[in-house]
Amino acid sequence: MTAFVTAGAGFLLAVLWFDLMFDVQVLRYRQGDLPEEVLASIAAYYRRVTTAARPMNRLISTVMLGTIISAVIQLVRDESPEWVAWTSLALVGAAVGLAVVHTFRAAVRLGRRADPIEAQSALARSILRDHLFCLAAIVSLLTIQLGFGR
């Protein structure tokens, strides 16, 4: 199961990398409203990947679920040290949970561009924060699986 957990995490890391290529535009503007060109770039990306990319955007959800299931199977089958399996499950669960509960909805909302500029700026910043958290969780998951999984 280590191979499946690692493959799923690697795929999710690649998706995060693409998301972060757009998200990092907000870093130059710590306060206040983001410039229109920054919001337009980020919003267009999220509109494409959350709503316009159907059915391909379902692949990400499938990989998230598959990675969680693989981590559960790894735990149940006792295929890795117990701490590796539990920590891996917690890390992927935290990242996927945040993505499902907040990040995806915020990205869809930003992609619609229906909110005032202040709200769009706040959404873009919150998506970046979410993705940085997910990046740390997925990199940690990969490190643990590759270093200590069997």
Q: pLDDT, tens digit, for every residue of 88-145? A: 999 999 999 999 999 999 999 999 999 999 999 999 999 999 999 999 999 999 999 9
The two structure tokens encoding residue 39: 């919001």
**pLDDT of the residue at 7:** 96
Instruction: Look at residue 84 and tell me whether its pLDDT is greater than 80.
Output: yes
Decide if 145 contacts 67 (C-beta within 8 A).
Answer: no
Alpha-carbon distance 45 to 25, whole Å? 12
Question: What are φ and ψ of residue 33, in 5° steps?
Answer: -75, 145
CA 104, CA 128: separation in Å to the nearest integer? 12
- For 6, list phi and psi in degrees, rounded to 5: -65, -40
Q: What is the pLDDT of residues 41-83, one digit of tens each?
A: 999 999 999 988 878 878 999 999 999 999 999 999 988 899 9
